[in-house]
Amino acid sequence: MTRTDPIRPTDDEARALARGLLAAARFGALGVIDPATGAPAVSRIAVGTTPQGAPMSLVSTLSGHTRALRANPACSLLVGEPGPKGDPLTHPRLSLHATARFVGREAPEHAGLRAHYLESHPKAALYIDFADFCFVVFDLRGASLNGGFGKAYELTPADLLPA
């Protein structure tokens, strides 16, 4: 038994599903290149969005993924967590393909990111201002949406972000 190309044409239903997964994400799985080995490394990070709806995170500068992103900003972020019931492999998920961009406290956009992030992650108030935490925005290159078995789409940044 063989099947043909599983990628479907992108439609408004796929765009709405993908935007909903991104807007609802509070954490995700970040893939980076380990600078020591050149191999991929996946770790869990907090996920929020910028006021414009782009994915972002608050990361520790002591973490391996932050060191990796400073060496090579190419990364991928999986969002869309299965609930406690049902088959996790039929639950929709979104693989974002992105370039990481660090936003320091001196940047004009920092205050807006901080306020917006705290709305979705109020507990982060405990450490958001620590010197060894910083914001990273994920500038999108594209995304792969898996809406469940046999429902795969390749999305552009414009499919994910409001104009």
For residues 89 and 115, which CB has a smaller minimum distance to a copy of itself in the complex? 89
Distance (Å, whole) CA 151 – CA 111: 39
For residues 12 and 34, which CB has a smaller minimum distance to a copy of itself in the complex? 34
Rounded to a whole number of angstroms, the minimum distance from the CB of residue 141 to a copy of itself is 8
Residues 6+ apart with CB under 8 A from 21: 79, 80, 92, 93, 94, 145
For residues 33 and 118, which CB has a smaller minimum distance to a copy of itself in the complex? 33
> 79-96 b/e with 16+ CB inside 10 Å = b?
bbeeeeeeeeeebbbbbb
Q: Note whether 150 and 157 are within 8 A (CB).
A: no
Token code pair at residue 15: 């765009």
Token code pair at residue 161: 């972000």
Rounded to a whole number of angstroms, the minimum distance from the CB of residue 162 to a copy of itself is 24
Please report, as ranges, the residues that interact with a copy of itself according to CB under 8 A.
Answer: 1-3, 5-6, 26-27, 29-34, 37-46, 62-64, 74-78, 80-84, 87-89, 93, 95, 97, 123, 130-132, 141, 144, 146
For residues 12 and 87, which CB has a smaller minimum distance to a copy of itself in the complex? 87
Rounded to a whole number of angstroms, the minimum distance from the CB of residue 163 to a copy of itself is 26
